[in-house]
Amino acid sequence: MNKQNLLFTFLISITLFSSCSKNDDNITSDISTNSGKLIVNGVEKTLTKGFIIPNYNGTDVNYNKRRFYFILTNDEVTLQNNNYIYSNNITQLIDFNMYCSSLNPGSVQYTTYNVKNSHTNVDYSDPFIDHSGINTNVVIQNGAFVSGNSLSSDDMTSGQTSISYNNGIYTINFSFSKAQNNITGTYTGTLKILNYQY
């Protein structure tokens, strides 16, 4: 009788342990949050949304397969007739114009992209950023960008953005600088696909 009770207790313990482990796994895998920050000359702003226009993968030679875009902001962005429509609640907006390496056309590389402009020495075949804007104190009216305190990657003497990806979550770190301007930031979360019509 004691052996049967001991065996029964052992089986119940294993069942309870397995159930608890499965519940814990579900809790951690369901947690996903979009959060980030943009710091411009010491002033910190919140980033809560990310968007991406993936690389072109068609056959039209007029489109560069190396090029893709992503946007970090604090509210919604959509595309209508290939035009950006911005939420009126947006107050900061960063648009990244990115190029993967010449060896990886049609892909988003999870690596570091350096700023390419007249102030930097970046090889065109390597991953790079150009013509990207960092905007704070943004004013949006009727879905269109009206004004903001804007800085351009074209004016920076150095800068880079690194992208990594794991289980649907992107981690993006960036920094740009030029004499009196220092910009850093990070974002961890999903990137919603904006379907550009090529």
- d(Cα 15, Cα 83) in Å, to the nearest integer? 56
CB count within 10 Å of CB 31 equals 6
Q: Give residue 188's pLDDT.
A: 98
Distance CA 127, CA 100 (A): 4
Residues 160-190 pLDDT 10s? 999 999 999 999 999 999 998 999 999 999 9
Classify residue 184 as exposed, middle or buried by CB count within 10 Å of its CB (0-12, 13-18, 19+): middle
Most distant CA pair in the chain, distance:
86
Domain ranges, ordered by start, for the chain: 1-31, 36-193
* Type of residue at 54: P
Per-residue pLDDT, 10: 39
By three-state DSSP, how is residue 164 classified?
strand
Of 41 and 32, the one with more pLDDT: 41
Strand partners, 43: 40
pTM, rounded to two decimals: 0.82
Supply the pLDDT for residue 33.
Answer: 84
Q: How confident is the model at residue 60 (pLDDT cuts 50, 70, 90)?
A: very high
